[in-house]
Amino acid sequence: MTAKAATFGRKAVIVTMVVAIGVMFMTSFVYRMDNPNLFVKVQPQHTADDGHDHDGDGMPGNAMNGAMSQVKEYMARVDADPNDVDALIGLGNSFLMMRAWDRALEPLGKARTLQPENTMILKGVGIAYFNKEDFTKASEAYEAILAIDDTDTLALFNLGVIYKHYFKKPDAAKTCFTRVLELEKDDQEMIKLAREELGQ
d(CA 82, CA 115): 13
Q: Are 173 and 197 in contact (CB under 8 A)?
A: yes
Q: Is the pLDDT of residue 23 over 90?
A: no
% of residues, the chain, pLDDT over 70: 70
Q: Measured between alpha carbons, how far is residue 59 from residues 55, 66, 99, 138 in Å?
A: 8, 10, 10, 24
What is the model's pTM?
A: 0.72
Top-confidence range, 18-32, 45-59, 69-83: 69-83
Q: Is the pLDDT of residue 19 over 90?
A: no
- Which of the two residues, 42 and 179, has the higher pLDDT score? 179
